[in-house]
Amino acid sequence: MMEKICKLFIDNKPFEFKVEGNFFWGQPELLYPQKDNVLSKMPWEKQGYSIVEAFGQDDFLRLQSSVEKIIIDALKANNIVVDDENFDLKNYHKYVTTDALHNQVISITRNLETSDFDFNIDQLAKRFGDILGYKLTSYVEELQKSHIQIRISRPNSLDINPPHRDGYLSYWEDIINVWLPIAGCNEKSSLPVMPESHFIPENEILRTESKGAKINSNVYYVPCILETKTGVINMLRPNPKESEALLFSPFLIHGAAVNENVDITRVSLELRFPKQKN
């Protein structure tokens, strides 16, 4: 494995971090399906993402409360004393002060199912399916289960994924990515994306294999995209508000969601809904 510096821009601001991995240029092929993919009916297919209304305020608060309970339970499972009534998700970093402890917490929160939530996740699949014009499901056939991740990003940390495409993993090839802000999400912390990058062919991308990138001693399932033939990766933060969702193609380059807030933890929800097979 070689150590390289991943350099990128987010809203024209430069960032960099060290990545260990074996990097290679891909084959001259475009992985993004040109026909009947989940964005085919959308006027924003070219940019690869859009912000949409997800639900009303009451539903948002119910989902936020459910996420908070899951995180509090994960903290207690790691012997962290928490006052349920006064706990604020944005203060998570004041309870979890080491990378080792954070990794223990997210080992619980990054591999959840619909049944873990006191909220009907399938109503979101219906909502976004109605928008996209396809029937969606929360059930991932290859995994034989649903799969939901709570993302927790502390300030001044590398609690991030590298720039990547979910579509490199076979079970995420034909899905819609959904990113929901839960707490502490703003113009300094929301998920960056690289517009139109789903149309970049593989021979113009320098990346690792799946499980082939290590950042800050953490190995990632997703491959790390280090750069493209056009140069440094240039991303922006769409920044959906509470009750909104960021929808995007699994082949859009995204990640590196550095939390630039000084004293606020960012919590978000990642959902992936496959197209329902007839």
Q: pLDDT (tens digit, 9 = 90+) per residue, 8-22? A: 999 999 999 999 999
pLDDT given for residue 216 in this prediction: 84
Mean pLDDT across the chain, nearest whole number? 96
Angle, CA 139 vertex, CA 108 and CA 34 arms, to 5°:
115
User: What is the rounded CA–CA span in Å between residue 133 and residue 169?
Assistant: 24
Q: What average pLDDT does this structure show over 198-204?
A: 97
175 has pLDDT over 80:
yes
Q: What average pLDDT does this structure show over 203-214?
A: 94
**Residue pLDDT, tens place only, 111-137:** 999 999 999 999 999 999 999 999 999
Quote the distance between the C-alpha of residue 247 and its chain's center.
11
User: What is the rounded CA–CA span in Å between residue 217 and residue 100?
Assistant: 10
pLDDT given for residue 34 in this prediction: 86
pTM (2 decimals)? 0.97
Burial 167-178 (b: 16+ CB within 10 A, else e): bbbebbbbbbbb
User: What is the rounded CA–CA span in Å between residue 15 and residue 8?
Assistant: 5
Q: What average pLDDT does this structure show over 178-199?
A: 98
Q: How far apart are the first and last CA of the chain?
A: 44
pLDDT given for residue 231 in this prediction: 84
Q: What average pLDDT does this structure show over 220-235?
A: 92
Q: Which two tokens stand for residue 60?
A: 């948002």
277 has pLDDT over 90:
no
Least trusted range by pLDDT, from 39-43, 115-119, 273-277: 273-277
- Environment class of 126 (CB within 10 Å of its CB; exposed 0-12, middle 13-18, buried 19+): middle
**Residue pLDDT, tens place only, 70-103:** 999 999 999 999 999 999 999 999 999 999 999 9
pLDDT given for residue 221 in this prediction: 84
pLDDT given for residue 153 in this prediction: 98
278 has pLDDT over 80:
no
What percent of the chain has a predicted confidence (pLDDT) above 90? 92
Amino acid at 209: E
What percent of the chain has a predicted confidence (pLDDT) above 70? 100
Q: How would you classify the pairing of strands 2-10 and 233-235?
A: parallel
Q: How far is CA 119 from CA 62, 71, 97, 247, in A?
A: 7, 15, 30, 20
**Residue pLDDT, tens place only, 139-159:** 999 999 999 999 999 998 999
